Amino acid sequence: MHVEAPQQILLLLIILFPLGGAIINGLLGRYMAKGLVTLVGVGSVALSFALAVVSFVELYGLRHESETATLVYHFYEWFSLKLPSGNVVAVNVRFVMDSLSGVMTLIVTGVGGLIHLYSIGYMGDDEGYPRFMSFLNLFMASMLILVLGSSMPVMFVGWEGVGLCSYLLIGFWFENRDYAAAGRKAFVVNRIGDFGVLIGMFILVGVAGSFEFADINSAAMAGEFRPDFPVWLLGVAPSLATVACVFLFLGCTGKSAQIPLYIWLPDAMAGPTPVSALIHAATMVTAGVYLCCRLSPLFITSDVAMSIIAVTGTLTALLAASIAVVQREMKKILAYSTVSQLGFMFAAVGVGAFAAGFFHVFTHAFFKACLFLGAGSVMHAVHAHGDADIFKLGGLRKALPITRLTFLASCLAIAGFPLTSGFFSKDEILLGAAAQIFRPDDMLMTSVGWFTLIGLTLAAVMTAFYMFRLYFLTFTGEYRSADQSGDHPYDAHPHESPPAMTIPLVVLAVGALTVGFLGLPHVVPIIGTHLSDYSWWGHWMEASVAGQPVPEQMYIVNLASGLAFGAMAIGISAAWVLYRNKSTDALAEKMPARLYQLAFDKWRVDELYAATIVNPIKNVAVVAGRADMTFVDAVMTKLPSFNVREAGRILARLQNGVVHVYGAVVVVGVVAVLAWFWTPHSRIEAAFEGTRVELTTPQGLGYEYRWDANSDGEFETQWKGTPGTTFEYGHDDMRGIAVFLKNTHSGIEHRIDVTDEWMPLPIESVVPAEFLSPRDTGFEVRIDGEFLLFRKAHARTKLSGMKEIRLPMGKSGRLGPARVSSRPLVEATLEVRNAFGNTRRATKEIALPFGFEAPTHASLTRPAHEVVR
Amino acid sequence: MGIGTYLALASVLFGVGAAGFLARRNMLIQLMSIELMLNSVNVLLLAFNRVNPSNHDGQVFAFFVIAVAAAEAALGLAILIAYYRVTKTLNTDDATLLKY
């Protein structure tokens, strides 16, 4: 049973509070006291979090009544559009909180709130503090629209909104050209992904006939995405689901920084540290994972797309981790760590462990936000700007005890130390990969499972290693910037950060250590006890997220957790040996120099993209710019303006100011007008009413008219002021026969000249040859007295002379798509007289649309002219 | 006398006025030529009124034309005097300030 609570206005308010905060701080912030800016900025998010908790509790309560309970707020119908199929699809601004979006809302508002709190301390002294708070609030609102939107378009509004805020906040210190460039890079790279989301969205709505996630998912479960995609790609026919999922995943690689579009995220660290923590670690970059989970019933129907996602995620995890191992700067290491962890999440999605992937989103939000904020705390302490080189730090555990402890807790969590949150989530991911290996009789799944399991294990080893390398180099040993003699840019006397910064650190660190218990595994390794009652997470997520079944065989469970534990142990031990209390990069000394340099240069991926994609596009842009300047601007803009200007220069000479010239022009004009009026002007128009012909002419001022309707030299009417007359023509008035060919479809009509010699009938002049059948062509025509004769030219010899067809005057005959008609011709004459007494004659040949009764030879009666008026 | 005589008189007057306006270079003469043309129109109006005397449109219009001509003459002469004070000439060939 589906339980829907009444309209949940709270869902709207959750979004409106940060949005209002953004508007107030954005428009008025610069005129407000700093305390008020803080109150609006942080207070709105805190309120939003409180409402999110209230909604979540209500949702939790409803779950006891129904497994699929959701909270819904229908705001209004945004627009509707008509599909090619004829269905009208309404796009509603509608917000839904189910188990998935509920958890995500809590993460966004909760972690977001803590980071807002932290920003008071970190950004409080910056000139752009109100602007910062406004952007941060706008981000919260966009992210909440993304999460709570019930349909693809609404989600896409949020999707673009967070992209915009990301751009604004990366380039927050836009005076620095590099930072502004980093923001631009993030935006442009994300546009490529957004294109994929749009295409995916169109495929989804085309098949499912709805933009709502719920409808798309039920269509996917009903198998509507199973049929082949109508366009064949590379000789194979992928299913609709595969194509849609691949395009959507392209969007996810942009937003969530996966191969091939991950390159923007490390550069995004140019933004202030709270931004890195909130947008580029905890929330926005997980939007791709969220989208995959949201549409998990769709994704799971395409093995091909899932394999692509799993392999891409694993490769990203490995690549990013390998870069992070050799970097020297805190935020850069954390940035690559984020890319790597996002790779873990996508690998989980790809092996069908959606709940595990999203669990990692959840735990990662805590420890990665804590790590970034810890890095920010360190940078704040040593007055580092932009980023901090860990080889110039060290020994900070004495100066920064709270930061150090929280940082350590988060390092343990991300490394997967037993019973921390990362331990549980990473375990679940590896378990999902291992389960894939043992799916029976599926080569693709088995090989993807092996690849993912081994790849992720290696990445986990590197994760534990680089995190503890970072920890040991920063917090153990001696402080290397203590004596200011050498090249040490940092403050000699670091100090612990204010409470506004340390409180969020502590809360996040506690979360990083404990939230894992929400997702206790179904089967505990080694012991083997079934604890499925305790897997709160899996049970909670079941309602809205599909997935492969979680395996319960002991050997799979033991394999996965053994690998996870081993990876953690190896990584931490290696870091302990190489870096604890050390000040030099021992790994770099042991590695081959060129390999180290290559890894330090991030495998030169940016350079590869520059050479293969960016520079060719730039060159095209240069060429296009030249074309614009030389063709559009010159030929199409400057040339016409030149023409107009020169023509004006010449014509301006006429306005020479001499009054005689003007007067002469007036006189010439007056004479011309007089000359035109000197003789009358007229033309004849004929209209047919039965057998009567109405002859008219446009009326002129002071004109008089008389008609000789049959042009026999005798005027039927006297001079009179009204122009029209009516006449009934008789057989004697006829002057000949006019033959017309008409295309009955288009209405095109041609008069043709026919004599009394045989000539081909030019039917092709009104009907294109391809519409003619052989029956309609090859006719010859001639006039025989008052008849039109037709014959088939080549039929003459085969058949006797009876093949001639006679068409009487005034009748018409059909020839396929054409109609041929024969009409009697008469001539009307009009004489016009104007006020000057001048006359003029007009004559007109009229083809009557009806025939006359031909007088028989026996009959001597002739129809007399009928004089009207 | 038929209307043709009046029409001929009006045409001749108008032609003399137009020719004078175009041929002479003195502004005063040109103003007088304009008066001639206006009066030729007055002759026409009165002649048509005589042909069609049922109402007095023609005569009324002739009065309007006389009033407008008076106003125009007053304005024209005022401009002319002002112009002469500035330039010390009334030759229209030199009055080309309002050209392109």
Segment A704-731 mean pLDDT: 88
Look at residue B25 and tell me if it is in a domain.
Answer: yes
Q: Looking at chain A, which residue has its C-alpha nearest residue B14?
A: A667
CA dihedral A113, A115, A120, A126 (to 10 degrees): -130
User: Looking at this predicted complex, what is its ipTM?
Assistant: 0.84
Q: Which residues of A touch B (CB under 8 A)?
A: 652-653, 655-660, 663-664, 667
Cα of B96 to nearest chain A Cα, Å: 4
Query: Are A657 and B22 within 8 A, CB to CB?
Result: no
Residue predicted with more confidence, A50 or A393? A50
CB pairs under 8 A between A and B: 29
Q: In terms of residue numbers, what domain contains B16? A: 3-93
Q: Is the peptide bond before A260 cis (omega within 30 degrees of 0)?
A: yes
Positions in chain B short of pLDDT 70: none
Q: pLDDT, tens digit, for every residue of A154-166?
A: 999 999 999 999 9
pLDDT confidence of residue A238:
86
The percent of residues above 90 in pLDDT, for chain A, comes to 49
| Structure tokens, A601 | 């240069």
Residue B100 lies inside a defined structural domain of this protein: no
Is the pLDDT at A638 greater than 70? The verdict is yes
Is B1 an interface residue toward A (CB < 8 Å)?
A: no
Set of chain B residues whose Cβ sits within 8 Å of the Cβ of A664: 22
> Has residue B20 been placed in a domain?
yes
Best mutation target among B22, B48, B89, B94 (most A Cβ atoms within 10 Å) is: B22
List CB contacts (< 8 A) between B26 and chain A: none
More confident residue, A263 or A774: A263
| Confidence check: pLDDT of A264 > 50 | yes
pLDDT of A395 over the 70 cut: yes
Could you give the maximum distance between any two Cα atoms of chain B, in Å?
52
First-to-last CA distance in chain B? 50
Distance from CA of residue A478 to its chain's centroid? 53
Cβ-Cβ contacts under 8 Å, B25 against chain A: 660
Rounded CA-CA distance B83/A568 in Å is 105
Q: Which of residues 34-93 of B touch A (CB under 8 A)?
A: 92-93
Provide the pLDDT confidence category of residue A772 given band limits of 50, 70 and 90. Answer: confident
Indicate if the pLDDT at residue A864 is higher than 50.
no
Q: How many helices (H) and strands (E) does chain B have?
A: 3, 0
Residues of A in contact with B96 (CB under 8 A): 656-658
Between CA A469 and CA A577 the distance in angstroms is 10
A657 contacts B96? CB cut-off 8 A: yes
CB A735 within 8 A of CB A722: no
pTM of this structure:
0.72
| Burial grade of A731 (CB within 10 A; 0-12, 13-18, 19 or more) | middle
Q: Residue A849 has what pLDDT?
A: 84
Closest Cα in chain A to B33:
A663
Is the pLDDT at A11 greater than 50? The verdict is yes
Mean confidence (pLDDT) of chain A: 87
For B60, the token pair is 């009324």
Give A465-494 pLDDT, tens digit per residue: 999 999 999 998 888 877 766 665 787 788
Indicate whether B86 belongs to any domain.
Answer: yes
For A136, the token pair is 């941060």
CB A660 to CB B22 under 8 A?
yes
Question: Is pLDDT above 50 for A865?
Answer: no
For residues A72 and A733, what is the distance between their CA atoms, to the nearest angstrom? 86
Task: Please write the tens of the pLDDT for every residue from A418-457.
Answer: 989 999 999 989 999 998 888 776 788 889 999 999 999 9
CA distance to partner chain B, nearest, from residue A651 (Å): 10
Confidence grade of residue A193 (pLDDT, cut at 50, 70, 90):
very high
The answer to the question of residue B99 being in a domain is no
Residue A71 in 3-state DSSP?
A: strand
At CB < 8 A and 24+ separation, what contacts does B17-24 make? B18/A663, B18/A667, B21/A663, B22/A660, B22/A663, B22/A664, B22/A667
Does A168 score more than 70 pLDDT?
yes
Q: At what angle do helices A401-415 and A499-514 cross, to 10 degrees?
A: 30
Q: How far is B63 from chain A (nearest CA, A)?
A: 25
The C-alpha angle A164, A169, A171, rounded to 5 degrees, equals: 100
| Six token digits for residue A697 | 């002419």
Residue with tokens 């590379």: A234
Is A663 in contact with B21 (Cβ distance < 8 A)?
yes
Contact A791, A803 (CB under 8 A): yes
Tally of structural domains, chain B: 1
- Secondary structure of residue A95 in the 3-state scheme: strand
Tell me whether residue A812 is exposed, middle or buried, using C-beta atoms within 10 angstroms of its C-beta: 0 to 12, 13 to 18, 19 or more.
Answer: middle
Q: Between A485 and A668, whose confidence is greater?
A: A668
Taking 50 as the threshold, does the pLDDT of residue A862 lie above it? no
Q: Residue A781: is its pLDDT beyond 70? A: yes
Q: What's at A848, amino acid-wise?
A: L
d(CA A364, CA A366): 5
Bridge partners of A460, per DSSP, are: none
Nearest C-alpha neighbor of A428 from the set A338, A525, A298, A299: A525
The CATH number that applies at residue B48 is 1.10.287.3510
Pair of tokens at residue A144: 């909440």
Give B40's contacts in chain A (Cβ within 8 Å).
none
At residue A74, the 3 state secondary structure works out as: strand
Give the nearest chain B residue to A662 (CA atoms).
Answer: B22
Tokens of A119: 């920003």
